[in-house]
Structure 1
Amino acid sequence: MAAAFRPAKQVLPLQALRSLVYPGLGGSGSTCSRCPLGAKRYLLTDNIVKLKDFQHKKVAVACNLPGTKETYLRNLEEKLTQSKLILKEELRTLLHLCESWDDVELAKNVIYRYHAENRNITLGEYKFGPLFMRLCYELDLEESALELIKDQHLRGFFSDSTSFNILMDMLFIKGALEVLIEMKNQDVKFNKDTYILAFAICYKLNSPESFTICTTLREEALIKGEILSRRASCFAVALALNQNQLAKAISIFSQIMKPESIICTNLNIMIHIQSNMLKTLIDILKDATEGNLSRFVKKHVFSEEVLVKVREKVQDVPALLATFDELYGKLHIHGRVTAYTLDALLCHTPSDRKSHTVLLNKRTVSRRTFQPLSQSLWAE
């Protein structure tokens, strides 16, 4: 009986990754610290980072604390000195009380003790990793976060993708690839946001090595049956275009579901520019100006930067240039042009839809009288 075919397991080229993070170990890639300083640093929405929720909880913990913060911290220091057991609730409270670097240093010592005492108790346990990352996020302590997440003695403490994602978001322009390596080495499962961050990091590095890494990660994800988000795929397409890998860019773009976003619209234009499909390019712009102008139909919006590239491409063809200039004017009249560059569109912080959902789910009927609530009451 013939054996079933199984794709060979691909291994992420960690040597290529390290060469990007640590110059001199081989490879021609640049480090994250050399990324443009204007790069967008935050790619995650607040309903993932949950910084506001964390800060609200900090206020609540401080208000409900029996005694003073100083007394609480001193008691924990004594427990460390006397090798007493650290309780889960004590660590959770401590992380919500931290307001300075000194506080975080104490928290780190407590984390080491707590993990040493509980490293074998993982099932159903509270995940402290994201909580510590939110604390570091709030206090701009990326170095402390990176130090702990890489520490061999804390293996298992940061066992969730959220911890790594938040740290990669913090370090987006100054070392996030090192976190990606660590996540891979610790066999932490990637989720949708991890792939977005990973591809964005590779896009910002924009080197042959980072293109290889992005391609490998993407192929591994597809083999595993992962569904990559449109946003992650857009970063992969943009990187392929920047590396003049046109066939790869076309292939990835063709697999994007619902490519109607402003980013997809502009990436499609860039693909046609690199493909020298000038007539089709003009037809796309013409359709955008002459299409259905109903306010219920999503309209294509083009980046000024991308349109400049179109003009450069058609300037040697007088007939197409004249048509383009006419269409360019119409696009401006109809408000179809944005000043944002393609890079700015790719690296924007997406809006958080959570607040809208909460508003829609608010009660409109009184639990006591079963009568409709006043509009002014439930809308607040």
Structure 2
Amino acid sequence: MWSWLKMSFTGALEVLIEMKNQDVKFTIDTYVLAFGICYKLNSPESFKICTILREEALLKGEILSRRASCFAVALALNQNEVAKAMSIFSQIMDPESITCTNLNIILHIQLNMLENVIEILKNATEGNLSKYVKRQVFSEEVLAKVREKVKDVPALVAKFDELYGKLHVSGQVTTYSLDAVLCHIPGGRKSHMFLLNKRMVSRRTFQPLGQSLLAE
């Protein structure tokens, strides 16, 4: 199943790369799709392509949505490019979303800033818990990663367990994985999945399109 999906993602990415090589202007949603596909492929090459597309977009003054940036951050983290992930995350204008909340925790975990993680969770439990105020929500999967990191530090694990209980009581924990949160499609968005069925070879070079982009 994964093999088939990987081929589909690769084919869609190749179409997007050819569009870029032919100077077709990307929309905000096109960048979301491109970065999302790169994230799903999760390879050194897809990370390189994502980085090139992002840097070109910024040089041209094009707008990259928070959603696109989150995919880029997640891909960088998966490729152990923590400094790059931190740089991209710091440029997100409005990081107040469930995706950003959980990516921020993963960033701090990979930087081994465990006390900062505990402080983030503490602030989330001590904020205004009125039902009319949007509260930070944490993925159960991400919280499990936190516990795994602090388990050998008695003082921190005790604090974490206390905060974990408070987050559950206040309804600030979701069973959705970080991947599910990242890939959630907001209502009303048009699907671009037709790209999965498009051609997979450049008409100009008759070479894989990834090679065409990286050669330019």
TM-score by length of 2: 0.83
In 2: Cα distance, 1:289 partner to 1:346 partner? 23
Consecutive unaligned residues in structure 2, runs of 5 or more: 190-216
Indicate the residue corresponding to 2:74 in structure 1: 238
Residues 344-363 of structure 1: matches in 2 within 5 Å?
Answer: 344-352=180-188
Indicate the residue corresponding to 2:6 in structure 1: 35
Consecutive unaligned residues in structure 1, runs of 5 or more: 1-30, 37-170, 354-380
Native 8 Å contact 1:32 1:176 kept in 2: no
**Letter of the 1:193 counterpart:** D
Indicate the residue corresponding to 1:289 in structure 2: 125
Indicate the residue corresponding to 1:375 in structure 2: none
Shift of residue 176, structure 1, vs aligned partner: 1.0
Counting matched residue pairs gives 189
Tell me if 1:212 matches 2:212: no
**Letter of the 2:173 counterpart:** V
Shift of residue 339, structure 1, vs aligned partner: 0.5
Residues 8-157 of structure 1: matches in 2 within 5 Å?
Answer: 33=4, 35=6
The 1:216–1:269 alpha-carbon spacing in structure 2 relative to 1, beyond 3 Å, is same
Native 8 Å contact 1:33 1:175 kept in 2: no
Deviations 1:123-156, CA, capped at 9 Å, x for gaps: xxxxxxxxxxxxxxxxxxxxxxxxxxxxxxxxxx
Shift of residue 179, structure 1, vs aligned partner: 1.2
Indicate the residue corresponding to 2:160 in structure 1: 324
Indicate the residue corresponding to 1:258 in structure 2: 94
Query: By percentage of residues, which structure has more helix?
Result: 2
Indicate the residue corresponding to 2:57 in structure 1: 221
In 2: Cα distance, 1:305 partner to 1:235 partner? 18
Matched residue of 1:175: which SS? helix
Shift of residue 174, structure 1, vs aligned partner: 6.1
Native 8 Å contact 2:121 2:163 kept in 1: yes
In 2: Cα distance, 1:226 partner to 1:33 partner? 33
Deviations 1:4-30, CA, capped at 9 Å, x for gaps: xxxxxxxxxxxxxxxxxxxxxxxxxxx
Higher Cα Rg, which structure = 1
Native 8 Å contact 2:139 2:176 kept in 1: yes
The 1:215–1:174 alpha-carbon spacing in structure 2 relative to 1, beyond 3 Å, is closer
In 1: Cα distance, 2:3 partner to 2:40 partner? 8
Match of 1:313 among 139, 143, 149: 149
**Letter of the 2:172 counterpart:** R
Deviations 1:343-367, CA, capped at 9 Å, x for gaps: 00111111228xxxxxxxxxxxxxx
Percent of matched pairs sharing the same residue: 76
Shift of residue 34, structure 1, vs aligned partner: 5.2
Tell me if 1:189 matches 2:25: yes
Indicate the residue corresponding to 2:39 in structure 1: 203
Native 8 Å contact 1:207 1:243 kept in 2: yes
RMSD (CA atoms)? 1.9
Match of 2:115 among 279, 288, 297: 279
In 2: Cα distance, 1:251 partner to 1:185 partner? 26
